[in-house]
Amino acid sequence: MDCIKRNRLLWYWISKNEVIGHKTIVMLLYAFHSIEGVYQAKQEELLKLGLKEEVISYLNKKYSMEELENEYNYTKKRGIHFICIEDKEYPEKLKKLYDAPWFLYYRGELPKDDLPSIAVIGARNCSAYGSDAAYYFSKELSLFGIQIISGLARGVDGMAHSGALSCGGKTYGVIGNGLDLCYPRENYGLYQEVNLHGGILSEYPIGSKALPYHFPLRNRIIAALSDGILVVEAREKSGTLITVDSGLEQGKDIFALPGKLTDVLSKGCNLLIQSGAKLVLSPEDILVELRNQYSSLLGVTTREINSTKEGLTEVEQLVYSFLSHEAIHVEELLMKTNLNQGQLLEVLFELESKQYVRMISGQQYVRTM
């Protein structure tokens, strides 16, 4: 067995026990100089480090290389790949993180280092406005080859992934549990789509549950894989802001969508803007910031962004002009447009099929941007 393969299997051995966290691995590598040294360490040497009893117990349980290889290969057959920080496939953007994961499990593929990426994040219990904005911005950015990174959670995360998928874009989900589990369960279909058209990553071993303390750690990976972070909606005290804080520590651009002063779901965004985050009104506001890093985005204009949308007929444009992110009833649209009911419903159907509007309840419609 060659040295590279043996090293990867030894990292796989360490990764299997979630109790052995990042700081413990740092301590072990400092004491024994390499992952091979950790594997060969004797009990009396481990006891001197003051490690937890369960950590010492696991490290003393010496899996044979044959056992590790068989388990590793079985995992791979399930579509779950494993890499360690020493592998050339390990994302360069992630290596810049001071506490970069020593290893990663992933399905699908890994984000490309040479392509721009934006994290789109926000409230789980988002509003219709937040849902539509996440979908729209992710879709428009994807049309320019920007990879969309998010957390496969309810709300903004799910809509961000869906927006990227809607136009054939690449999107990647970073999760806080093992890759054999889908959390939340209702996102199973989305989980499969992201797996097929991007990838899903986790630093947690197979079988790990979605525990509360996993998510702040997960958020640092979302920030590290991105060139900038777009906050769509967030409460004043929101888990979303943990990702923002991590992004600021890493020197990432922070973007935020403004919202109503009275809207609790926009308070976090408004405070971010007040603190210096870049106020975003259109996808071009983000593209402008990425041009210096990625020459493929040079010369992008608002007109070019708009030209990627399907054209509207004159009557469709008329109806669309009276719509906003506030719900409006069909009866009110009839009065404003002077169309008859049949004409209006036909136009609304067309606009909805083109994903410009959607009906929310009781014949009320809102823009989807």
For 253-297, write each residue's pLDDT tens digit: 999 999 989 899 999 999 999 999 999 999 989 998 888 778 766
Confidence of residue 1 (pLDDT cuts 50, 70, 90): low
For 158-206, write each residue's pLDDT tens digit: 999 999 999 999 999 999 999 999 999 999 999 999 999 999 999 999 9
Q: Residue 42, Cα to own-chain centre: how many angstroms?
A: 41
- What pLDDT does 354 receive? 84
Q: Which two tokens stand for residue 227?
A: 């060139």
- What pLDDT does 305 receive? 47
Cβ neighbours of residue 230 closer than 8 Å, sequence gap 6 or more:
118, 119, 120, 121, 137, 255, 256, 257, 280, 286
Closest by CA to 11, choosing from 92, 95, 84, 119, is 84
Confidence of residue 2 (pLDDT cuts 50, 70, 90): confident
Cβ contact 238:268 at 8 Å: yes
For 194-247, write each residue's pLDDT tens digit: 999 999 999 999 999 999 889 999 999 999 999 999 999 999 988 899 999 999
Confidence of residue 155 (pLDDT cuts 50, 70, 90): very high
CA distance 44 to 53: 12
User: Which of these ranges, 53-62, 67-76, 87-96, 167-176, has the smallest mean pLDDT?
Assistant: 53-62
Confidence of residue 369 (pLDDT cuts 50, 70, 90): low
CA distance 325 to 103: 43
Closest by CA to 38, choosing from 13, 5, 64, 74, is 13
Classify residue 364 by burial, with Cβ atoms within 10 Å: 0-12, 13-18, 19+.
middle
Closest by CA to 156, choosing from 51, 35, 257, is 257
| Percent of the chain residues topping a pLDDT of 90 | 76
Query: pTM (2 decimals)?
Result: 0.81
Tell me: pLDDT of 318 over 90.
Answer: no
User: Which of these ranges, 41-45, 174-178, 226-230, 306-310, has the smallest mean pLDDT?
Assistant: 306-310
Instruction: Note the residue count of the chain.
Output: 369
